[in-house]
Amino acid sequence: MTTYPTSGPVFSVIPVDGPIDEPRRITISGLAPDELVAISTRTMRSRGALWDSQATYMADAHGVIDLTRDAPVGGDYAEVSAMGLLWSQHPVGSTSQELFADDVMQPLSTTLTAETADGIRAEAELFQRFAAPGVTRREIREDGLVGTLFTPAGPGPHPIVVVLNGSGGGINEPRGALYASHGYQAFALGYFKAPGLSPFITETPLEYLEAGLRWVHRELQPRDGFVAVSGQSRGGELALLLGATFPDLVSAVIAYVPGAVVHGAQGAGDPARGGWQGVTWTRGGVPLAHLWQDNSAVHWHPWAGDVPPSRHHSVFFEGLKDRTLAARARIPVERIAGPVLLISGRDDRAWPSSLYSRMVVSTLRQHDHPHLVRHLDFDDAGHAINLPFVPTTQLAREHPVSKVPYTSGGTPSGNARADDGSWRGVLIFLAEITSR
């Protein structure tokens, strides 16, 4: 515990420094009973983007405010939440979408300021780390692969998680570092929009991902041969697809807000190669059938400037009405040879991840899947289910590839609960299946 004495309010932050997924107990003492205090936060995130939040609280009869107990009486969030001042942050003077640090080996630093009505101020800091002490980071540029390997402290071999990003592309280093902080060797593998790779998802060969899986097995020698694949959104679709296509290489699948069918390139597509309706995945040079391939049921286009319904994910429901094409585009998840964890938001407005996850569960049940299947479906959560205790306020955003605005859905508090609950669920899932 670190205490910050002042002439008035006194901050206590427990712990001051810890992993990003660890909740903190933040209290302010030394106040008058029922005194009002404004508490604000400021965090410098990636690319120099400043995010802040503010809320006002009333002290109890002992002159204490405890964020694990007390809801604000006004401000950027409105419920009891120990970390509400962090997930309710907004970018200052920009539309930045950068939630993490430029260097995941360095912590995010947040300054907290308390100010009374008399202008008496107190300050404190807290630090959120992606990488626990002893975690190492190594860039991988081998066998044509582009990724980053995070290795836990302590002797191996370790169970391994291959981490895939979504339609924003790039390399998901924050999640990889956090997996390693919990004892899993994590290979954050880029498959487009990463150094030396295509800037678009269009026509991504599954052979590239297969090479990544084979490299992990050969070079890293995972404990008991365990290699899970964890992916988000298009990466969730890809995780299910890899488990179904290469069951001998994938021990378990963790699919965040996934698709149950193969989709076209959509917002990450190359405009010169079909754009939104272009091919996403190929195998042996042959395109995989996808939901936008001459779909007879879709009559509007949410990514081409046409006016969509208020929830543009309606196009996915329309797309599934072409049952012949949907059957051809379906990911044959019954071929997966291990446990499956699905994570979704019931208010996902990017695409219907709750429905898609239920479709996967139904298929696995119909085929008497012999392994653990678990679906975590969160109320008031949208498409952007992330790591715990990061800002959740950007419900509308610009797609990082197409630059087209879209709505991810959910509410800030619902998304925050999903961020935390999903991550706890992932750790429980991995602990269960790697301890057997």
Rounded-to-integer distance, Cα 280 and Cα 126, Å: 42
- Distance from chain centroid for Cα 298: 29
Q: Is 233 a catalytic residue?
A: yes
Rounded-to-integer distance, Cα 115 and Cα 7, Å: 12
Active-site option among 270, 348, 419, 420:
348
First to last CA, the chain: 37
Residue 358, CA distances (Å) to 242, 341, 377 in order: 19, 11, 9
Q: Is the peptide bond before 15 cis (omega within 30 degrees of 0)?
A: yes
- Distance from chain centroid for Cα 62: 40
Rounded-to-integer distance, Cα 270 and Cα 254, Å: 27
Nearest CA among 235, 131, 144 for reference residue 185: 131
Q: Is 383 a catalytic residue?
A: yes
Rounded-to-integer distance, Cα 72 and Cα 26, Å: 13
CA angle 117, 122, 126 (to 5 degrees): 130
Containing 39, the helix (H) or strand (E) segment is strand 36-44
Tokens standing for residue 129: 């780390």
Active-site option among 181, 230, 233, 344:
233
Q: Is 236 exposed, middle or buried (0-12, 13-18, 19+ CB in 10 A)?
A: buried
Nearest CA among 415, 421, 365, 360 for reference residue 393: 415
Residue 343, CA distances (Å) to 174, 195, 240, 273, 396 in order: 18, 29, 12, 31, 21
- Helix, strand or coil, per DSSP, at residue 24: coil
Q: For the chain, what is the radius of gyration of the CA atoms?
A: 23
Rounded-to-integer distance, Cα 55 and Cα 205, Å: 49
264 touches 287 (CB < 8 A): no
Active-site option among 76, 383, 420, 422:
383
Rounded-to-integer distance, Cα 322 and Cα 218, Å: 42
Residues with a catalytic annotation lie at 233, 348, 383
